[in-house]
Amino acid sequence: MGNVRILAAITLATLTLGSGAAARKPKPVKPNADYFPLRVGDSWTYRNSESGGYTLKVLSEEPQEGGAVRYVVELRSEVIIQKVFSKTAGWVLFHAESYSEQEGLKAAYEPPKQYLPNPLVAGQKWEWTGKDPTQTDRHEQNSVAGFENITVPAGKFRAMKVISYVSGESIPMIKTYWYADGVGLVKSTTEGGQIKYGSELTDYSFKKKPEK
């Protein structure tokens, strides 16, 4: 009788653990998920952890003969930076960036830089080696860590966490980004040596208005 009870307890424990594992099974990725929306006129506003902030705005889309549409995104803070992206084959591609107020400070990426998988899936990894706009050699190792619940001034989001290890500069950096489906970047941090700063999304132009 004692052996029967022990066997029953083991069976129950196994079933319980199995049920728990099933409950923790990650949700399948939505086929239409978009962690980097690019629609002309859309804009995002961020505040920096130190001071000030910046805005992003999709200025235009430029059809390419035999290629994917390219989107011009303007970053405006103390400086103005124009970035050119496209979206194709499960990737956001980064083609170029330029500082309109600094003549000659620009970079064109050929082949295009694989900026971000889209949709994001936990476990993805990719690397990039090249030169930034200052012509400094740079190497990036990127990985998708998984979902985290993030609260920023713009709201609460179930966001996918992306970690980037950047070397080639004087101080190696760890950059962390959180992207929300349908919204885009909601939070970022940068750490290296004594350097530590970040930014949070405070508002975005296509935010749904609360129902009355």
> pLDDT tens across 77-121, in order?
989 999 999 999 899 999 999 987 776 688 899 889 999 999 999
- CA torsion sign for 140, 78, 161, 190 is positive
> pLDDT tens across 8-17, in order?
333 333 333 3
- Is it true that the peptide bond before 111 is cis, omega within 30 degrees of 0? yes
Is residue 53 within 8 A of residue 199, CB to CB? The reply is yes
* Confidence band for 42, pLDDT divided at 50, 70 and 90: very high
Is residue 58 within 8 A of residue 40, CB to CB? The reply is yes
* Confidence band for 32, pLDDT divided at 50, 70 and 90: confident
The pLDDT, as a whole number, for residue 168 is 84
Place of tokens 């496209």: 86
Reported as type and span, the H/E element at residue 45 is strand 43-48
Quote the mean pLDDT of the chain: 85
